[in-house]
A and B are shown apart, each in its own frame.
Chain A
Amino acid sequence: MDELEFRRRLLAQPQNKDKELLEYAQQNPERMSLVNELKSFDKELHQAMNVSVPENLVDKIIFRQSMSDDTSANTHPLKRSPNRPWYLALVASVALVFTFALYQLNSPTLSIGEHALAHVYHEIDSLEAQDRLDMATVNARLAELGGQLSALPGEVTFARFCRFKGQKSLHLVFNSQFGPMTVFIVPTNNQYLGDDYFSDQRFAGRISHFPKGDAILVAAAQAPIDEYQSRINQSLQWL
Chain B
Amino acid sequence: MSDITASGEALPSGKNVRELVHQSLGRRHRQETIFKSMGLVAILVALGFVAILFSIMLTKGLPAFWQANLHTQVYFDPDIIKGGPRPVQEAGQSDADYRQQDLAWQRQVTLSNWNAIVEQTVRDVAPDTDAEKRDILAIITSSARFKLRDMYVEDPSLLGQTVPVTLLASADADNWVKGKLARDLPDERQQLSRSSRDLADQLLADGDITFDFATHIFTNVDSRSAPASAGLAGAFMGSLYMMMVVIVLAVPIGVASAVYLEEFAPKNRWTDLIEVNINNLAAVPSIVFGLLGAAVFINYFGLPRSAPLVGGLVLTLMTLPTIIIATRSSLRAVPPSLRQAALGLGASRNQTVFHHVLPLTFPGILTATIIGVAQALGETAPLLLIGMNAFIANIPASPLDSATALPVQIYLWQANENRHFFEARTSAAIIVLLGLMIVLNAIAIVLRTRLEKRR
Task: Tell whether A and B belong to one assembly.
Answer: no
